[in-house]
Amino acid sequence: MKIGTIEFGEYPLFLAPMEDVTDPAFRVLCKRFGADMMYTEFISADALIRNVASSEKKLDISESERPIAIQLYGRDPEPIAEAAKRAEEAKPDIIDLNFGCPVKKVAGKGGGAGLLKDVPKMLEIIKAVVNAVKTPVTVKTRLGWDENSKIITTLAEQIQDCGAQALTIHGRTRAQMYTGEADWTLIGEVKNNPRIKIPIIGNGDVTTPERAKECFEKYGVDAVMIGRGSIGRPWIFEEIRHFINTGELLPQKDFSWYLNILKEQAENNIEMLGEQRGIVHTRRHIATSTLFKGIDNFKQTKIAMLKASTKDELFNIMDTIEKNFDVSRETK
């Protein structure tokens, strides 16, 4: 598979762009475990052209992360095109346009998945950005606004015709948010449309190596994007790659090995953001991590872990978990 001049090997695995998740500390870990393509947290075009510091900070990328995409969202062509020029100065490998975010504060204001209700404007935005930058432009979107408007098969051709060099499809409508199951059937239809020449990347509910392999084989997608399945579990990319290559699940490591990865993530966030903000940035990964699922009588300990405000406090609780709880079970 190829996007622009970027060559990917067989069965590429992409880390999905996720707000408050795909920060540099997490991206570093996902890259180490085999993610083939990284994405920043999404960035508001309006905030970027207004020089909002928090948005400008999200443009920080490192050579070790490549290939990496900067993802932008907005609701009007001119501001997004201007923001794309600003983003290009950070020298990303790809500029990705978000037409899939379903949350009310984005979609409800006409950005993200909100543009599924205004396709002409979505296409205008794509054309404006493609014309504004030399960096390859890609798009991420959903099946449609709701059950009665699943327009992706037609929309995919229009997106391609506007100059996008790849398309990621999340297998839900905006109305579904993140509920129910992702429907990969329409993703497969888009990929198998003979008019579609650009890479199609599938996204949604890929949480196991078996499911990732099935998505490649059954639907024929060019790449699989992992989102929520990677939160608190950056090693999922290594697990999937091993299963695709061997047909066998990667042998489990000791609980302490997985725990040390989460500690490393916390340490990296603390180094980048300071102790308090670094701890807060790591909490979602700790809360979501499958590492702690199935531990008996764990509720109060988990609450204490998520309330910890210093590195020492958090790590002491983690060490206590390892010493005092029965963790001799599957940790994936």
Residue 290 CA to residue 233 CA, distance in Å, equals 7
Q: How far apart are CA 83 and CA 62, in angstroms?
A: 20
157 within 8 A of 196, measured Cβ to Cβ: yes
Of 30, 101, 162, 215, the active-site residue reads 101
Residue with tokens 């790591």: 282
Contact 41, 72 (CB under 8 A): no
The reply to whether omega before 67 is within 30° of 0 (cis) is yes
Question: DSSP readout, 226-281?
Answer: E-GGGTT-TTHHHHHHHHHHHSSPPPPPPHHHHHHHHHHHHHHHHHHH-HHHHHHH
Helix, strand, or coil (residue 192) = coil
The β-bridge relationship of strands 94-99 and 137-142 is parallel
Give every CB contact of residue 87 below 8 A, 6+ residues apart in sequence.
43, 48, 59, 70, 72, 95, 133
C-alpha count within 13 angstroms, C-beta hemisphere, residue 298: 19
Asked whether 87 and 134 are in contact (CB, 8 A), the reply is: no
Going by their DSSP bridges, the two strands 200-203 and 223-226 should be labelled as parallel
162 is known as an active-site residue: no
Tokens of 32: 């180490």
- Report the catalytic residues: 101
